[in-house]
């Protein structure tokens, strides 16, 4: 069977798009003619800083890697790309409320690299973790909050958020489900992870699978994973 | 938000996605600020102690530059958050 025959219709549409991007990148990167080479306007390599949406460079790297590899490794890579898109769309749902609470200052950080920022209202982030997206289980909502935080001081902020979560469920336990109370009743993030019987790296790997299953709308898989999660040690 | 480095090319503003040194030549990977799937590669040429961006000379050079990028970033597709 020809390689192209292995792609279903949707894959072929992705492939066509990727092929087009790759051809354009190749065309725009190479001087084709000697004449063109001679009259080429040199552009001084002098950059300027600009603020872009979070993770722009990360996404740009993925764009180049995906475009350049997809023809070589075929549908498997397309599947990975599609899975990641589905997962990221889901993650945006459970992580978005964190972005609403970040405040960027006009003060340059001490190393001169970017501007300082802080989370304005940690309790509000905790409240929104508990009260929004109720159709999604609480552990995945907590993971969404974790992903939404900036990498820098992420664990410190998670400690504060877990503390707030505990305060909220102990103040009004009847407002929350048994699962929510059990998941949130920890003084800090380390205690929360311990309740799952996981180290942080294992937790991140495990929850990546959970969010992928949510993104694929594979509810059976979600339930299977959550059963394992809650059987971990809590 | 994150702060990135950009440069204006003839066909728009591009973000510096990466720089890789290959055989003593610095290659710059640029992504259109309005479309993460639109990218191109330039190399740095030094004249009078100033750095200039110029286009690549052949398909083979493009392939070499792309392969170096893949070698460096292959895992990022799998680990993308």
ipTM for the complex?
A: 0.90
Please report the pLDDT score of residue B8 as a whole number: 92
Give the count of Cβ contacts less than 8 A between chain A and B.
161
Residue A232, min C-alpha distance to chain B (Å): 24
Q: Which residue has the tokens 């509000």?
A: A124
Domain extents for chain A? 3-73, 90-230
Please report the pLDDT score of residue A86 as a whole number: 80
Are B3 and A114 within 8 A, CB to CB?
yes
Reading the block at residue A112, the tokens are: 């001169």
Nearest to A64 among B8, B42, B69 (CB): B69
Q: Bigger pLDDT: B11 or A209?
A: A209
Q: What is the DSSP letter of A116?
A: E
Residue A133, min C-alpha distance to chain B (Å): 20
B55 to chain A: which residues are within 8 Å by CB? 29-31, 37, 40
Please report the pLDDT score of residue A63 as a whole number: 85
Please report the pLDDT score of residue A74 as a whole number: 45
Nearest to B80 among A21, A43, A84 (CB): A84
Nearest CA in chain B to A114: B3
The whole-angstrom separation of Cα A124 and Cα A101 is 8
Please, which residues bridge with residue B52 across strands?
A44, B45
Contacts of B41 (CB under 8 A, 6+ apart): A25, A29, B27, B28, B29, B30, B56, B62, B65, B66
Please report the pLDDT score of residue A21 as a whole number: 74
Are B40 and A43 within 8 A, CB to CB?
no
Which residues 18-47 of chain A have a CB within 8 Å of chain B? 21, 24-26, 28-31, 37, 40-47
Q: Which residue has the tokens 């600009």?
A: A50
Please report the pLDDT score of residue A169 as a whole number: 96
Residue A165 dihedral angles phi and psi, to the nearest 5°: -60, -45
Are A45 and B28 within 8 A, CB to CB?
yes
Residue B17, min C-alpha distance to chain A (Å): 6
Residue B23, min C-alpha distance to chain A (Å): 18
Please report the pLDDT score of residue A79 as a whole number: 61
B21-75 per-position pLDDT tens digit: 988 889 999 999 998 888 999 999 888 888 999 989 888 888 889 888 888 887 6
Reading the block at residue A160, the tokens are: 């504060």
Going residue by residue through chain A, which has 234 residues, state the pLDDT in tens, using 9 for 90 and above: 433 344 455 556 666 666 677 777 877 787 766 555 555 667 899 999 998 888 889 889 988 887 877 655 444 555 666 677 788 888 888 988 887 777 766 666 665 555 566 787 889 999 999 999 999 999 999 999 999 887 778 899 999 999 999 999 999 999 999 999 999 999 999 999 999 999 999 999 999 999 999 998 999 999 999 998 876 555
Mutate to test the interface with A, among B62, B76, B77, B78 (most CBs of A within 10 A): B77
Domain extents for chain B? 6-76
Residue A40 dihedral angles phi and psi, to the nearest 5°: -60, 130
Q: How many residues does chain B have?
A: 81
B80 to chain A: which residues are within 8 Å by CB? 58, 62, 84, 88
Reading the block at residue A115, the tokens are: 């501007």
């Amino acid at each position: 069977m020809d390689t192209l025959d292995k792609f279903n219709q949707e894959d072929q549409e992705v492939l066509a798009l990727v092929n087009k991007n790759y051809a354009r990148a190749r065309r725009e990167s190479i001087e084709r003619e000697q004449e063109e080479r001679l009259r080429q306007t040199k552009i001084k390599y002098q950059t300027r800083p600009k603020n872009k949406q979070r993770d722009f460079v990360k996404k740009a790297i993925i764009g180049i890697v995906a475009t350049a590899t997809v023809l070589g490794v075929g549908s498997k890579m397309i599947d990975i790309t599609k899975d990641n898109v589905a997962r990221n769309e889901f993650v945006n749902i459970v992580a978005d409320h964190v972005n609403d609470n970040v405040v960027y200052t006009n003060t340059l950080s001490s190393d001169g690299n970017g501007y300082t920022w802080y989370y304005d209202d940690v309790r509000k982030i905790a409240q929104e973790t508990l009260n929004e997206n109720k159709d999604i289980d609480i552990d995945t909502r907590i993971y969404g909050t974790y992903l939404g935080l900036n990498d820098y001081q992420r664990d410190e902020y998670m400690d504060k958020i877990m503390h707030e979560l505990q305060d909220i469920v102990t103040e009004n336990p009847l407002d929350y489900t048994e699962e929510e109370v059990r998941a949130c009743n920890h003084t800090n993030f380390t205690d929360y992870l311990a309740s799952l019987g996981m180290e942080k790296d294992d937790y991140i790997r495990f929850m990546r699978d959970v969010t992928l299953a949510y993104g694929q709308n594979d509810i059976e898989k979600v339930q299977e994973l959550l059963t394992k999660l809650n059987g971990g040690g809590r | 938000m994150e702060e990135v480095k950009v440069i204006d090319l003839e066909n728009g503003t591009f973000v510096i996605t990466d720089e890789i040194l290959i055989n003593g030549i610095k290659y710059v990977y640029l992504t259109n600020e309005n479309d993460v799937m639109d990218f191109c590669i330039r190399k740095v040429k030094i004249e009078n102690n100033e750095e200039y961006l110029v286009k690549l000379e052949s398909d083979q050079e493009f392939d070499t530059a792309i392969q170096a990028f893949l070698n460096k970033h292959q895992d990022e597709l799998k680990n993308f958050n």
